[in-house]
């Protein structure tokens, strides 16, 4: 891929500058550093119809990618740069991103990534100028993620959203449903989870899946449980062709979704929950400040009156250790080392139970994740400062 020329967008920008009506809508620069999908080559996501011709992953060398991105940014300064890659090269965290961060390139960059990034990797992305990502979250329930073959869990998806809020990276993601054999509990549990995530980035899109050509759902539709697969009706309105020819032409397909219609009430309730999430997100905060031996957590999720929880001693240690999702056994082991005193699994579980009940910690039954973002050096939200100054913060009791 290093042999490819750097794109010349001069003609486009000449035409763009002549369109006065679009003067207030700056374009975005497109940048390509890789083709194919390394995850798809390992375990193709069932709904994905991309890379029908070549799934094999290939990328530009780090030096070439940095040089190209910086060249484009210098030719067209001040514009956001969108990487068109299906997924960022895993090796770029050791090569491309550090070199880009050390360069003089000043650009706001978008990349598609896998959602099980580490916190250090997210910090690397931010340092290199990546302010927007599409992490392919797609669901907040493990059973659905397994059907999708996403290779990630719901608690890891929430973990990424929390770290994005903490570090300052915006995540664009969708919530999908409508897979055959999707359990009812997936809807029920996501509806119950969403209010606890009001402070995190809500999905930009939501809805039932469709069948795309080249996806495993389409190529193996019978085995996957899809019935009466047919081109979406719009094709018949556009092309005056027999059904069998439309079926060879089409990329988007419909299917029998009786199971989804049977869950219409649950779908509507989940949609309402996402709409409420979007509407209250701007005024919803859950953040923690660690100061002088006490971890103070402030909560305004759902636009409620701010509440304060103060964790000291062992409670503080446990909560901080849950910044990354961990099992009770993993937490007990790490705390035994950090506190230089034996910590039992039961003691960890007992400490976390009231925090889970208060919605300050998420659990998937095995692992635990703190939901408050550590404020660190980031400023306290202005709206919260006003509420705090007006004396609206009320304590609902210490958890020690």
| Local confidence band at 395 (pLDDT 50, 70, 90 cut-offs) | very low
286-297 mean pLDDT:
91
338: pLDDT strictly greater than 60: yes
The superfamily (CATH) of domain 1-172 is Aldolase class I (3.20.20.70)
Which pLDDT does position 381 carry in this prediction?
64
Q: What is the mean pLDDT of residues 307-324?
A: 96
Where do you find CATH 3.20.20.70 in the chain? 1-172
pLDDT band at 368 (very low <50, low <70, confident <90, very high): very high
Q: Which has more confidence, 212 or 18?
A: 212
Distance CA 27, CA 16 (A): 8
Q: Are strands 394-395 and 307-312 parallel, antiparallel or unpaired?
A: parallel
Q: Distance (Å, rounded) from C-alpha 188 to C-alpha 302? A: 19
Pairing of strands 205-208, 174-177: parallel
pLDDT tens digit sequence for 221-280: 999 999 999 999 999 999 999 999 999 999 999 999 888 889 999 999 999 999 999 999
With a cut of 50, say whether residue 360 has pLDDT above it.
yes
At 304 the pLDDT is 80
Which residues of the chain are in CATH 1.10.10.10 domains?
286-395
Whether 387 has a pLDDT exceeding 70, the answer reads no
pLDDT of residue 130 exceeding 90? yes
| 3-class DSSP string for the chain | CCCCCCCCCHHHHHHHHCCHHHCCCCCCEEECCEECCHHHHHHCCCCCCCCCCCCCCEECCHHHHHHHHHHHHHHCCCCCEEECCCCCCHHHHCCHHHHHHHCCCCCCEEEECCCCCCHHHHHHHHHCCEEEEECCCECCCHHHHHHHCCCCCHHHHHHHHHHHHHHCCEECCEEEECCCCCCHHHHHHHHHHHHHHCCCCCCCEEEECCEECCCHHHHCHHHHCCCCCEECCHHHHHCCCCHHHHHHHCCEEECCCHHHHHCHHHHHHHHHHHHHHHHHHHHCCEEEEEECCEEEEEECHHHCCCEEEEEEHHHHHHHHHCCCCEEHHHHHHHHHHHHCCCCCHHHHHHHHHHHHHCCCEEECCCEEEECCEECCCCCCCHHHHHHHHCCCCEECCCCC
Per the prediction, the chain carries an average pLDDT of: 92
Distance between CA atoms of 137 and 56, rounded to whole angstroms? Answer: 22
Per-residue pLDDT, 221 = 95
The CATH code of domain 286-395 reads 1.10.10.10
């Amino acid at each position: 891929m290093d042999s490819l020329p750097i794109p010349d967008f001069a003609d486009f920008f000449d035409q763009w500058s002549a369109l006065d009506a679009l003067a207030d809508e700056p374009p975005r620069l497109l940048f390509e550093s890789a083709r194919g999908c390394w995850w798809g080559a390992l375990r193709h996501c069932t709904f994905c119809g991309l890379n029908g011709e070549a799934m094999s992953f290939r990328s530009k060398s780090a030096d070439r990618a940095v040089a190209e991105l910086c060249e484009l940014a210098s030719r067209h300064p001040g514009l956001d740069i969108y990487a068109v890659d299906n997924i960022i090269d895993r090796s770029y965290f050791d090569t491309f991103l550090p070199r880009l961060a050390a360069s003089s390139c000043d650009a706001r960059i978008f990349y598609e990534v896998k959602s099980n990034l580490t916190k250090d990797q997210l910090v690397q992305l931010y340092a290199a100028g990546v302010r927007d990502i599409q992490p392919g979250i797609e669901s907040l329930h493990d059973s659905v993620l397994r059907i999708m073959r996403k290779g990630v869990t719901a608690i890891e998806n929430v973990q990424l959203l929390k770290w994005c809020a903490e570090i300052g990276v915006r995540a664009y993601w969708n919530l999908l449903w409508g897979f055959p054999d999707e359990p009812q509990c997936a809807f029920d549990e996501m509806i119950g989870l969403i209010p606890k995530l009001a402070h995190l980035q809500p999905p930009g899109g939501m809805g039932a899946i469709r069948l795309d050509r080249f996806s495993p759902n389409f190529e193996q539709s019978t085995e996957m449980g899809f019935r009466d697969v047919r081109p979406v009706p719009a094709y018949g309105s556009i092309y005056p062709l027999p059904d069998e020819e439309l079926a060879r032409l089409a990329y988007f397909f419909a299917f029998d979704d009786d199971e989804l219609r049977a869950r219409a009430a649950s779908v509507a309730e989940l949609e309402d929950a996402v709409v409420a999430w979007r509407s209250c997100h701007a005024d919803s905060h859950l953040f923690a400040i660690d100061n002088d031996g006490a971890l103070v957590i402030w909560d305004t999720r759902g636009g409620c009156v701010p509440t304060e929880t103060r964790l000291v001693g062992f409670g503080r240690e446990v909560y901080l250790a849950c910044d990354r999702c961990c099992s009770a056994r993993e937490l007990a082991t790490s705390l035994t080392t950090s506190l230089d005193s034996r910590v039992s699994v039961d003691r960890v579980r007992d400490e976390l139970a009231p925090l889970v009940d208060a919605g300050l910690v998420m659990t998937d039954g095995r692992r635990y994740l703190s939901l408050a973002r550590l404020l660190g050096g980031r400023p306290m939200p202005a709206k919260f400062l006003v509420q705090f100054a007006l004396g609206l913060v009320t304590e609902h009791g210490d958890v020690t």
